A and B are shown apart, each in its own frame.
Chain A
Amino acid sequence: GIQVEQSPPDLILQEGANSTLRCNFSDSVNNLQWFHQNPWGQLINLFYIPSGTKQNGRLSATTVATERYSLLYISSSQTTDSGVYFCAVEGNAGKSTFGDGTTLTVKP
């Protein structure tokens, strides 16, 4: 099956800093999503981005499908950005394969 690798596994930032999270995947995919799981366990869909670049406020994402990676950018981070960020890719079979996540801690 498809392998998904996220880096870094942990990230500690001061409020206001910028960060880049990376997701590498081992095969071509039909779909890629970025999720934020908040400290209460809720999964929030951030981007559906099988290719190209999207922006939503302080967040943006870029997927380079030909090189099998995606990047999530967080600018001017806030304490509410803390949590785990997951990348999930979907191959031909319909199911999603999740990476192990990046745990982000934003300190005030």
Chain B
Amino acid sequence: NAGVMQNPRHLVRRRGQEARLRCSPMKGHSHVYWYRQLPEEGLKFMVYLQKENIIDESGMPKERFSAEFPKEGPSILRIQQVVRGDSAAYFCASSPPLAGATDTQYFGPGTRLTVL
């Protein structure tokens, strides 16, 4: 069973461009979480999605950021008109469908976004 996969692993964008980060959860997992780690800081929650639904987006910036998890295909975190402050590592995690108890989240290797 392959782990959580993220691509690209490294992404360089110029200010004003769009960044699209992809996350393929572990097989059988239907919950996806996105976290951002700014340089020298811990991880901060951004958004929690299930298939075709956003469950909690309380950590998402109000503008330029969006996330989706379609019925087919990976989850996408999109950042429009990137700025230098968006430079960070973006981690995705997945967990299986809840069955009366929470499950551990499995983290991907992260995408390191650099905005020039």
Q: A99-B42, A101-B42 are in contact. Are A94 and B48 (CB under 8 A)?
A: yes
Which B residues are closer than 8 A to A by beta carbons?
31, 33, 35, 41-45, 48, 55-56, 58-59, 89, 91, 93, 101-107, 109-110, 112
The answer on a CB contact under 8 Å between A86 and B109 is no
Determine the main DSSP class of B at the interface with A: strand
A45 lies within 8 A of B106 (CB):
yes
- Nearest Cβ distance between residue B1 and chain A, in whole angstroms? 15
Interface majority SS on A: helix, strand, loop or mixed? strand
For B104, the chain A residues whose CB sits under 8 A away are 31, 33, 45, 48
17 A-B pairs whose Cβ atoms sit less than 8 Å apart in the complex: A33-B104, A41-B89, A41-B112, A43-B91, A45-B104, A45-B106, A45-B107, A48-B104, A94-B102, A95-B45, A95-B48, A95-B56, A95-B59, A96-B35, A96-B43, A98-B43, A101-B42
